[in-house]
Amino acid sequence: MGKENWWVNYPWRMVQTNLREIDMDQMNAVAFAETLKDFNATAVTLNAAGILASYDTKLPYHPKSDYLSGDSLKQMIEECHKRDIKVIARCDFSKIQEKVFEEHPDWAYRTAEGNIVNYNGFVQTCVNSDYQQKYVFEILKELFAEHDFDGLFCNMSSAVIVDYDFNVYGPCHCENCKKLFAKQFGAEIPETDDRRNPVFGKYMGFKNQCMAKQKKMMYEVVKSINSGIAVNGFDYYRVESNQDMDRPSWIYQTSTNARKTVGPNLDKVCDSAITDFLGFQYRHTAISPALLEVRQWQNLANSGSTSLFVMGDLEHHRDRSSIRASKKIFDFYAEHESVYEGLKSDAEVLLIHKMLLARVDAEVSGFIRALTECHIPFDEMKLQDVTPELLDKKKLVILADTRFISDEVAALLDAYVERGGILLATGESGCNAVNFRPRTENAIKSLGVGKILEKRMNLKSSLYEITEADEKMFSYCTDMGLSYIIPGKEVVVSEIQDESKTKTYMKLIPEQLYGPPEVCYPKEFSEISGVLKSSYGEGFGIYVPWLVGTFYYEQGQENTFTFMKDLLLNVCGVVSISKNTTPMCEITVHKNEKHTLIQLINTTGCFANSFFEPVPLYQISLDWNFKEGSKVKALNGGNVTWNQGKLVLDCLNVYEAIVIENEE
């Protein structure tokens, strides 16, 4: 086994091989490992245990594969280790085979009606069953006693309530869950995931508590076997950029996955797996190579790692397009490993993520678009991970419709603003407690609003007017000739705490007729503001009481983007690294003790849900806190020069990395 904490500062170039059971039939361990070495991989994930044992298990309720006639897992690990490739065991304890369920029906997840979820002969298990609470650990002890794995990844771990067709089955109602919940809360488990149910908040806390407890037990068991085993969710963090037939591709999926995983200090190991296939149904057909390549560059630019997820192994993978698209990034990273060592973000903006049941947070995603396309470097972090020390390093913190917030978090944010920070919040941020109950007044005092007077819902034709008094602050809108901005479906109306400390911008034109055209003009106006900027201590709270990010994410209109540009650059006062470059270019800025690293990704090949080779971009001008004349070089074929205090890159094809050496 490798050294303790081998994963720290490790050049992470992962290939996850989702081996099918038939792949072990004629497995050649030497060829498998050599192919990974040629790919410049430094780590690989192998199917090991759980649903199916890929080794000669002795445990009675751990079914062994019928295809173990090729080289063994042990031989594969040995050959990888000879080539300095770390090996992660992939386990899946979310399901058991029917024959196991028949002997242990109490191990299964149960719907509110008491039914099991059986998909192709595999029955979903419950996190509170003896299978996940006890038997799983017997499997892990056997697996790691017999195999020299470097790490553990548990797929679909803990509490899975969805099947491969994305049918959602709701809370588990097995006897174990019902007894534990009743003992803790004296109540019955809700039948569905319904936030309107007053017990639902308690159930979500209970579910998270059970999952955290199970994962911690698993971690402790593995570490007791060998402390040098890297465990996903503790020592490294796996996320996934993937595709489904019913979900359109989103160009920034990988960037946000990577950013919010590693954090501003890049102090977490991020395995951001890029799935090469088109959803569960088409596991052997690759997504567009141009999209896969961009995602790998985004991985490198935002987390300093690369990760490819394929069915089968690299050598025999039939669709080679994704492998070819990924290899150039793996090769580039291998050549320039030292450039990515010890990097930290140089961004002055932090976008906070809230806990969400849905797959997509449209409000957050809209801000990811706007910040990226305005070329404002930014970090992302989950709300529960935010600390005062981290906040104080940021000029601007963004709460994108963070509706459910505790008094403690509200006080943390207020203290940040009072010390001189700027907080931008949208929608219903601060309007609800963490138990999903609405508040009578906003919990975040620094936003300058208090009592919530009204929530206007299902709007269809309301507009915000940019008045003459707003034109100087909203200069980009003014230059474009914009007068009206669409707020979308929801507006929150609140009292202003202190008008002497609050500046307001834009006025709401309430619902108006939109047909027939002869009567389509405003007949009613209001004094309801679209943006409020309030002084609070040494800083400012800025409140946009509508879902500007959601509207931009869903509609993508330039007038919304231009408003967000004014909001970020003028109202909030943050800085763009390249004001005149096309929005279809992603830029990140990181630093270590030796240099500043600017990375640029060309996204001009993105056309809605199609992705092609991008069009080259020329003469990109960059302006940050650079010192003119510093030694600078481009690593991927471009040429960069100084021009009047700015850096100018002559040409960007797909990706460029610019290194600015620190002065001695």
Task: Classify residue 62 as left (phi > 0), alpha (psi -120 to 50) or beta.
Answer: beta
- The CATH number given to 585-661 is 2.60.40.1180
Identify the three-state secondary structure at position 74: helix
Q: Which has the higher per-residue pLDDT, 205 or 30? A: 30
- Would you list the domain boundaries of the chain? 1-17+35-93+128-171+190-233, 349-571, 585-661
Fold exhibited by the domain 349-571: Rossmann fold (3.40.50)
Report CA 641 to chain centroid distance, whole Å: 34
- The confidence band for 249, taking pLDDT boundaries of 50, 70 and 90, is confident
Identify the three-state secondary structure at position 302: helix
Peptide bond into 616 cis (omega under 30): no
Identify the three-state secondary structure at position 384: helix
Identify the three-state secondary structure at position 317: coil
Please check whether residue 576 is in contact with residue 374, taking contact to mean a CB–CB distance below 8 angstroms. yes
Q: Which of 123-137, 230-244, 332-346 has the lowest mean pLDDT?
A: 230-244
345-403 pLDDT, tens digit per residue, is 999 999 999 987 667 899 999 999 999 999 999 999 999 999 999 999 999 999 999 99
Please check whether residue 27 is in contact with residue 70, taking contact to mean a CB–CB distance below 8 angstroms. yes
Question: What is the C-alpha separation between 594 and 286, in angstroms, rounded?
Answer: 39
Q: Which DSSP string corresponds to 43-54?
A: EEEEEEEESSBS
Question: What is the C-alpha separation between 291 and 297, in angstroms, rounded?
Answer: 10
Tell me: pLDDT of 448 over 60.
Answer: yes
538-592 pLDDT, tens digit per residue, is 999 999 999 999 999 999 999 999 999 999 999 999 999 999 999 999 999 999 9
- The confidence band for 664, taking pLDDT boundaries of 50, 70 and 90, is low
Question: What is the C-alpha separation between 596 and 577, in angstroms, rounded?
Answer: 14
79-121 pLDDT, tens digit per residue, is 999 999 999 999 999 999 999 999 999 999 999 999 999 999 9
Q: What is the CA radius of gyration of the chain?
A: 26
- The confidence band for 344, taking pLDDT boundaries of 50, 70 and 90, is very high
Question: What is the C-alpha separation between 254 and 272, in angstroms, rounded?
Answer: 7
Q: Across 79-136, where does the E strand assignment appear?
A: 86-92, 95-97, 118-119, 122-124
633-641's contacts with Cβ under 8 Å and 24+ in sequence apart are 633/658, 633/659, 634/658, 634/659, 635/332, 635/336, 635/339, 635/659, 636/332
**Can you count the helices (H) and strands (E) in the chain?**
16, 34
Please check whether residue 61 is in contact with residue 18, taking contact to mean a CB–CB distance below 8 angstroms. no
pLDDT at 205: 87
Tell which residue, 298, 314, 305, has the closest CA to residue 271: 305
Q: What is the DSSP letter of 65?
A: P
Question: What is the C-alpha separation between 607 and 24, in angstroms, rounded?
Answer: 40
Same fold, 349-571 and 585-661: no
Q: Give the other-Cβ count within 10 Å of 1's Cβ.
A: 13
Strand 230-231 versus strand 306-311 pairing type: unpaired
Please check whether residue 25 is in contact with residue 248, taking contact to mean a CB–CB distance below 8 angstroms. no
Question: What is the C-alpha separation between 367 and 399, in angstroms, rounded?
Answer: 10
N-terminal to C-terminal alpha carbon distance within the chain: 40
Tell me: pLDDT of 199 over 50.
Answer: yes
Task: State the burial class of residue 643 (Cβ atoms within 10 Å of its Cβ: 0-12, 13-18, 19+).
Answer: exposed
Query: Quick one: tokens of 205?
Result: 């806390």
Question: What is the C-alpha separation between 445 and 448, in angstroms, rounded?
Answer: 6
pLDDT at 577: 97
Please state the length of the chain: 664
323-326's contacts with Cβ under 8 Å and 24+ in sequence apart are 323/39, 323/276, 324/289, 325/289, 325/290, 325/292, 325/293, 325/296, 326/274, 326/276, 326/292, 326/293, 326/296
Span 120-137, mean pLDDT? 95
Query: How does the average pLDDT of the chain come out, rounded?
Result: 93
pLDDT at 358: 64
- The confidence band for 323, taking pLDDT boundaries of 50, 70 and 90, is confident
pTM above 0.85, yes or no: yes
Please name the residue ranges forming H helices in 403-469.
Answer: 407-418
Q: Give the other-Cβ count within 10 Å of 292's Cβ.
A: 26
Q: Which of 257-261, 423-427, 486-490, 627-631 has the lowest mean pLDDT?
A: 627-631
Tell me: pLDDT of 1 over 70.
Answer: no
Span 158-184, mean pLDDT? 89
